[in-house]
Structure 1
Amino acid sequence: MSSDNLDDLIEDLEAASKLPAKQRKTGIKSTIERAAAILYERGAFPHELIRLVDLLTIRNHLDQASLAVLVRNLYPSAKVGDDTVLRFVGALGHGHLKPSLPLQALFLRWLVMVYHLLENPAVLSQAYAVLFNLLDTAAIRPQLCHVLALVTRRKHVRPFRIQAILNLARQTGGDPHLTGLLRVFKNYYPEIIVGEVTKGRAAVFKHPDTQWCARLDEIQQQHSASHDGTAVRNGFAVSHALGSRLKGAKAMFPTVHTLHAQENSVTLEETDSAETFVKQLDKIELPTQLVAVFADPLLQKFLLLRPDAEASSRISNWLMACLADVAGGDADSDLLADMLEVVHDYVLRVKMLPPLLLTFFGQFLRVWDGSDKRDMVLETLSFVPMTDFQRLYQILQPLEDSMLDGTAACQVSLLKFYTLLVRRWTIAIEASEPFVSLPVGCVTDLIEHVNKLALTLTQTSPTVGVYLDILDFYESTAAIYAKPPLLQHVFITIPPPLLVYLLHFSPSLAVVSRLCGILAIYKRAWEAVTSPSVARQLTPREREQINSFNGFLMDLCNCLWRGRAFATTDTNAQGCRIPQSVQPVLASYVRRTDPDLSLGFIFGLSHSPILCLQSISYVRELEDADTNVRLRHTGPVTQTSLSQLANRGGLRLPWQEYRSGVLGYLEAKGFPGIPELMYNTMKNLMKTRKG
């Protein structure tokens, strides 16, 4: 066993704690000494701290002296979590299984010394009542009063607690620690706490051990330095450790530094708070190395609030030089990956892709292999601002050329990217006023572009998972059309009819439900855009699309509700675009399978492969609730079967009530799309819902 492996030492102590001292083959003194030395040297990592706290708080066979040594050397190397604090609080008090009172006093002393390192200081506030109720334990009262003095806020000071301290102070003859705590209470309510009791000798709550605290600070600084890249930085102070972000790269992002600063110069390096930053914003000089903006939060804020054309040009030139080095073979490709990671973090932080980075990505995508850090590239590019689609395609085309390799996986990744892009654009449109200032026409162009990708995916990977990804995209576009104010500026673009039919005949109820929900939103959008409230003329492209939309809307209603699947005689109906010559063959097949069934009904609520279980389950629930039912329906349900069933002692359920009930049952089960489309399309149902 290595003598510097604290985990092994803790394991030995855990084993020894289960045996009385006389039954152990070896002593634990040397183990305690080595563990204490390691704790003093580099502190306890979070997982080690938890194990040590369990060893201290759970009653065992280790002697008190050994446990006390561990507590006195329990230096945490990182923030102290809630689990650690609550374990110590839970170990306080009286009981056979509780640690000894001297040990409890050390626990409280430790909490005082690490109070500034608590991950969630409110955890002690939540345990305030538990701590307060232990004040009558004299052995831990001094340390307990100190903890309470740190934690006490106005909400904790209550009349019953004031009275409890006063009574306890009288019983103890004026304990100075209680008097000190009472003075803390009095700071919040001086008009209530009066009298001679607070004028007596009071304890001054000083730090228990300043040398221990100094060593703790050293350990914390060592740990912080080794983890600076992942630590949360002060957003109003310059970060001086950016180099650690790009270890191993031949070129590193420099730190913020202002050369040639004079006595009256104001630099970013001097800023240490939001107040200072705001007061001196107009006087701060530009740093020498502006490319540090990608990793320094303060410089990011500065350039956002004080944009500078020269600064953007300098940053762009630096990035292009790095790209040229990689493309020419003068720099390692790892440099590109490191740069991309920092740029990605920067874009996520500022929630925008500046023009200089658009130029960078225009060149980057020409040397990118299409797979390295793909998710990071796509998430970064999802912040591309709305612009003319021809200009936008100068970015999208090299992106697609790099990514598309003939596999469905890359196509799905690209589709998810477009979904995220539309969602970000929706946020930008809603946040902008007026809308006319934005090039919203690119939304329509992008949807038409993605329509082709979605159709391709139905051929290359016709799975339920891919269908759901496709619906994610159209739900994001429907979110735009669901807002009438946006319809004044954004033209409606529908999904391709072939895509709608392929999704409608999916074997998944979730797919069909979501599809119908999207189409219901589109239908309301068409109604809104043709109403006086929106007051704009339909474009020729929209007039052409509205006929197609009405066509597949009628086809879906014929399948799901009207019992006329593949009919072409109704207005706008297109028979789901199945060739007329195929329909007699399908009808003959259906008759051979079931003479009582016709082609028109096989995709309705009762017979559809995705809806038949929900329909009959609805009927079963009604039958279970009706005690007068003597005969159960065997299914599937038809208008004739319901009439015959009622005459033979079965459930009395009118046909229209049954169908409406199935729609309600689907809504209750989390499939609201089909009911929503039916209630927005079928006139008899519209009246029912309005009533």
Structure 2
Amino acid sequence: MTSPPINDDLEGLIGDLEEASKLPAKRRQTSIKPTVEATASLLFERGALPGELARLVDLLTIRNHLDQASLGAIVRNLYPTGKVDDDVVLRFVAALGHGQLKASFPLQALFLRWLVMVYHLIKNPAILSQVYGVLFNLLDTAAIRPQLCHLLALITRRKHVRPFRIQGILSLSRQTGGDPNLTGLLRVFKNYYPEIIVGDITKGRASSFKHPDPQWREKLDEIQQRQFNGQCDPGTRNGFAVSHTLGRQMKGLHVSVPAVRTLHAQENSVTLEEIDNAESFVKNLERIELPTQLVAVLADPLLQKFLLLRPDAEASSRVSNWLMACLGDVSSGDADSEIFLEMVEVINSYAVATKTLPPILLTFFAQFLSTWNGSDKRDIVLETLSFTPMLVFEELYAILQVLEGAVLDNTSSSQLSLLKFYTLLLRRWTIAMKSTDDLDPLPMATVSRLIDYVNQLTLTLTQTSPRVGTCLDILDFYEAAAAVFSETRLLQRVEISIPPPLLVYLLYFSPSLTVVSRLCGILAAYKRAWEAVMSSAVTRPLTRRERDQINVFNGFLMDLCNCIWRGRAFSTTDVNAQGCRVPTAVQTALDRYVRTAANSDRDLSLAVAFGLSHSPLLCQLSLEYIRRLEDDQMEELRARHAGPVTQASLARLASRGGLNLPWADYKSGVLTHLEAKGFPGIPELMYNTMKNLMRARQQ
């Protein structure tokens, strides 16, 4: 006999169950079993939406005519697709206890088990705290005690531990002959008041309160991930509440990053475990006691906030000792080296959350890099190291040498990974410099030395990976550098460091207009920085190295303006012009080739081949600009321009009844058209470099 097809209409299935629940089994015309199976299957496949969950909870908690097996099948497959509302939690709690209208004890045990398994998804975890007394008073019900103790262990906070409750558990434990579940709950109580709960009562066998069904949790995570567009952990931790599900087990070593626990707390003190919102955290900030397990700062968001606002030398020392102990275990062979990779993930979470990488963690990385193979979890390692604070360059270089020794493997991909790391590092430094009021403690000279250091890497990449994508990654780095030099306050202390000349020319002759536009925008930002340094806005004098760089930089500007604007590509007759560093013999051969290829086009030569009209990157947009002008005046024109546009061709066009457009207006119009098309870099450089354009824009 084949099973019935699954109905995809969960709302309809729930409706059928609701109708069937009103009738005794003997009065139903059809069996309810296929509907229950279809509902359970659909819940297993895609979970229950909030409205569907509420209806199913009503069906489970209100006494009806559905049999226990059917109700049990539903609750075992009750996977929520989102957060669990207060009403759902309260309905399950209200169904607990003794009475004819209450659910059966096996069902009550399943309800409590479900609350334990979805605890991390409860929208308002405080709701269970509000019914703590109700739950606690049900401990004498043996049928649901194991699940009830587990739930109470999750929600117990210091405020819940009272003498009468301690006495109640002790009395009940003696009556039951030392129930392990009660002993486990009593140990949770003892964590808050170890000086009150003494004796051997907590030394017996105790429940460890492990997750009731890890496979169920995996399925829940899968459903939640699908529902929330790829979020692998939908139960995002509350940033102002301790994470009680931390305890992450490390590979190869019997040690974990523990959850936050505060032992030996005083009656008038406040513990982090009692904090459940931002208001409570701020109100009690000065009274909060340091937790016993300070290493939990690596993963617990609330403890991270606490130690940022109340730094403590002892706390840093204890975290450092814990990390060094892990390193010692690996070095001595007592633990697998895989522990390093697990620790890196934990440290990455800490660095991303706090935007810092303290010296103790840098010490860890110094050990880690010496054993790392350079490929495992490379992105995580590099992202974490990008939070390295500004150090004296010699100290930084010692780290970079080890890092590059591990990462570089004679492939362009490893070089690109390093370049992206340096870009991210420079951006984070820029944010740190902009956000601090006092720059004196920072080793500002490191910024320029890092840029000089990366210059060699960018040049290497133009040879090992001559692709447009690589050029864009290189420009990301120099945009980050230009952002530093664009701040007058930072220019007072940071020496300007320009890109290598060869790199500039290689990027300029890229086959991508995006690359050329971004390059010109970066050079325009550098030019403004030079102007600021040489003006009264920056009080420091130019360094000798900066004076040597000025002529080189002016050579960039002259060469690019000769190519784009002046129709004198590769000229060396102007002051500072370097002819794009193309040898004279090569220029002669190229010019001969261009004239031969041009045939009857007497306007084309090597000198104008990279201008607005003839450049392979710009010719289409410049002609598009002319066509737009002609379309606007179509009724008045007797001739159209065939392109490419030159000063002479515009004069001939006007004489034949075509556009009457001055050469200067044409060129400035093309710049405006480039801006409108999303290529502002070339216009920005021209407006910042060509004096006639500067005056025109000012007018």
State the TM-score, normalized to the length of structure 2: 0.71
Question: For this pair of structures, how many residues does the alignment match?
Answer: 546
Give the C-alpha shift of residue 307 in structure 1.
Answer: 2.0
Conservation of the 8 A alpha-carbon contact between 2:419 and 2:458: yes
**CA separation of 1:367 and 1:116: change in aligned 2, threshold 3 A:** farther
Task: Give the 3 Å change call, closer, same or farther, for CA 28–551 of structure 1 in structure 2.
Answer: farther
Query: In 2, distance between residues paired with 1:434 and 1:49?
Result: 53
Cα pair distance change 1:491/1:44, threshold 3 Å:
same
Unaligned runs of 5+ in 1: 18-25, 57-64, 82-109, 118-208
- Name the structure 2 match of 1:688: 696
Look up the match of 2:335. 331
Q: Secondary structure at the match of 2:36?
A: helix
- Could you list the per-position Cα deviations for residues 2-49 of structure 1 after superposition, in whole angstroms to 9, with x for gaps in the alignment? 98x9xx7445989999xxxxxxxx96732213345679xxx6675554
Check if 1:590 corresponds to 2:594. yes
Partner Cα distance (2:403, 2:284) in 1:
42
Q: Deviations over 1:516-545 (max 9, x none)?
A: 001011111111111112122000111011
Q: Structure 1 pair 594/38, CA: closer, same or farther in 2 (3 Å)?
A: closer
Residue 615 (structure 2) aligned to one of 608, 613, 624 = 608
Flag the 1:423–1:111 CA change in 2: closer, same or farther, 3 A: closer
Distance 1:11 1:46, change over 3 A: closer
Whether the aligned pair in 1 keeps the contact of 2:252 and 2:335 (CA below 8 Å) is no
Q: Are positions 1:620 and 2:627 aligned together?
A: yes
- 1:29 equivalenced with 2:36 (yes/no): no
- Give the letter aligned to residue 514 of structure 2: A
> For 1:219, which of 110, 114, 117 is the aligned residue?
114
Task: Tell me, yes or no, if structure 1 residue 291 matches structure 2 residue 295.
Answer: yes
Aligned-partner SS, 1:531: coil
Deviations 1:130-189 (A, max 9, x none): xxxxxxxxxxxxxxxxxxxxxxxxxxxxxxxxxxxxxxxxxxxxxxxxxxxxxxxxxxxx
Counterpart position of 2:444: 440
Out of 467, 470, 475, the position equivalent to 1:463 is 467
Equivalent AA in structure 2 for residue 550 of structure 1 = N
Q: Name the structure 1 match of 2:127.
A: none
- Select the residue among 515, 522, 537 that pairs with 1:533: 537
Q: Distance in 1 between matches of 2:441 and 2:409?
A: 38
Displacement after TM superposition at 1:471 (Å): 0.4
Q: Decide whether the 8 Å contact of 2:240 with 2:302 is kept in 1.
A: yes
- Of 520-529 and 649-658, the range deviating more from structure 2: 649-658
Note if contact 1:341-1:376 (Cα within 8 Å) is conserved in structure 2: yes
Aligned partner of 1:365 among 361, 366, 369: 369
Report the alpha carbon displacement of residue 489 of structure 1 after superposing the two structures with TM: 1.5
Q: Is the 8 A contact 2:687 2:693 kept in 1?
A: yes
Name the Cα RMSD after superposition.
3.6
DSSP-derived class of the 1:492 partner: coil
Q: Distance in 2 between matches of 1:567 and 1:483?
A: 34
Determine whether 1:636 maps to 2:653.
no
Distance of 1:426 and 1:549 partners within structure 2:
23
Q: Is the 8 A contact 1:49 1:76 kept in 2?
A: no
Q: How does 1:301-380 map to 2 (within 5 A)?
A: 301-380=305-384
**CA deviation map 1:629-655 (0-9, x unaligned):** 232222111111111122223222221
What amino acid maps onto 2:341 in structure 1? A
Residue aligned with 1:335, SS: helix
Q: CA deviation at 1:309?
A: 2.2
Contact 2:323 2:364 in 1 (8 A): yes
Whether the 8 Å CA contact 1:251–1:335 is kept in 2: the answer is no
Question: 1: CA distance between counterparts of 2:31 and 2:578?
Answer: 86
Query: Do 2:507 and 2:516's aligned partners in 1 also have CA atoms closer than 8 Å?
Result: yes
How far apart, CA to CA, are the structure 2 residues paired with 1:572 and 1:486? 28
Structure 1 residue corresponding to 2:241, chosen from 237, 244, 250: 237
**Given residue 528 of structure 1, which amino acid in structure 2 is its aligned partner?**
A
* Residue 241 (structure 1) shift: 2.0
CA contact (8 A) 1:249 1:334 kept: no
Distance 1:326 1:229 in 2: 30
1:558 to 557, 562, 579: 562
Instruction: Return the match for 1:659 from 659, 667, 688.
Output: 667
Please say which of residues 442-451 and 294-303 is displaced more in the overlay. 294-303
State the shift of 1:231 in Å: 2.1
Residue 283 of structure 1: CA displacement?
A: 4.5
CA distance in 1, matches of 2:102, 2:301: 34
Task: Read off the aligned partner of 1:390 and give its amino acid letter.
Answer: E
Instruction: Quote how far apart the aligned CAs of 1:585 are.
Output: 1.6
Match of 1:508 in 2: 512
Provide the rounded CA distance (Å) in 2 between the counterparts of 1:570 and 1:673: 23
Name which of structure 1's ranges 271-280 and 290-299 shifts more when overlaid on structure 2: 271-280
The answer to which of 236-245 and 549-558 deviates more is: 236-245
Distance 1:504 1:303, change over 3 A: same
SS at match of 1:565: coil
- Measure the CA separation in 2 of the matches of 1:315 and 1:2: 61
Structure 2 Cα separation of the partners of residues 614 and 379 of structure 1: 40
With the length of structure 1 as denominator, give the TM-score of the two structures: 0.72
1:449 corresponds to which residue? Answer: 453
1:416 & 1:294 partners in 2: Cα distance?
Answer: 25
Give the Cα–Cα distance (whole angstroms) in 2 for the partners of residues 640 and 229 of structure 1.
Answer: 67
Match of 2:80 among 68, 73, 78: 78
Deviations 1:439-480 (A, max 9, x none): 221111111111111111011111100000000111111112
Q: Give distance in 1, aligned partners of 2:86 and 2:51.
A: 20
Q: Does the CA contact (< 8 Å) of 1:422 and 1:477 recur in 2?
A: yes
Taking a change above 3 Å as real, the CA distance of residues 605 and 275 of structure 1, as seen in their structure-2 partners, is closer
Shift of 1:264: 6.0
Distance in 2 (CA, whole Å) between partners of 1:446 and 1:594 is 46
Distance change (3 Å), C-alpha of 1:374 and 1:382: same
The superposition leaves residues 180-225 of structure 1 with CA deviations (integer Å, 9 ceiling, x where unpaired) of xxxxxxxxxxxxxxxxxxxxxxxxxxxxx99799887753431346
Amino acid at match of 2:343: M
How big is the shift at 1:257?
Answer: 2.5
> SS where residue 436 of structure 1 aligns?
coil
Distance in 2, Cα, partners of 1:559 & 1:47: 64
Residues of 2 paired with 1:37 and 1:600: CA distance? 77
Give distance in 1, aligned partners of 2:235 and 2:491.
45
Q: Contact 1:229/1:241 (CA < 8 Å) preserved in 2?
A: no
2:500 to 496, 501, 505: 496
- For the structure 1 residues 522 and 114, does the alpha-carbon distance in structure 2 shift closer, same or farther, using more than 3 Å as the test? same
- Given that 2:249 and 2:255 are in contact with CA atoms closer than 8 Å, whether structure 1 keeps it comes out as no
Preserved contact between residue 13 and residue 31 of structure 1 (Cα < 8 Å): no
Which runs of structure 2 are paired with 1:259-270 in the superposition (5 Å)? 259-261=263-265, 266-270=270-274
Hey, what's the Cα distance between the residues in 2 that align with 1:2 and 1:320?
62
Matches within 5 A, 1:105-116: 113=87
CA shift at 1:394, angstroms? 2.0
Amino acid at match of 1:675: P
SS of the residue 2:493 aligns to = coil
The separation in 2 between residues aligned to 1:292 and 1:276, in whole angstroms, is: 20
C-alpha contact 2:650 2:663 (8 A) present in aligned 1:
yes
Q: Structure 2: 5+ residue runs without aligned partners?
A: 15-28, 57-64, 92-100, 121-216, 222-231
Q: Using a 3 Å threshold, how does the CA distance of structure 1 residues 419 and 241 change in structure 2: closer, same or farther?
A: same
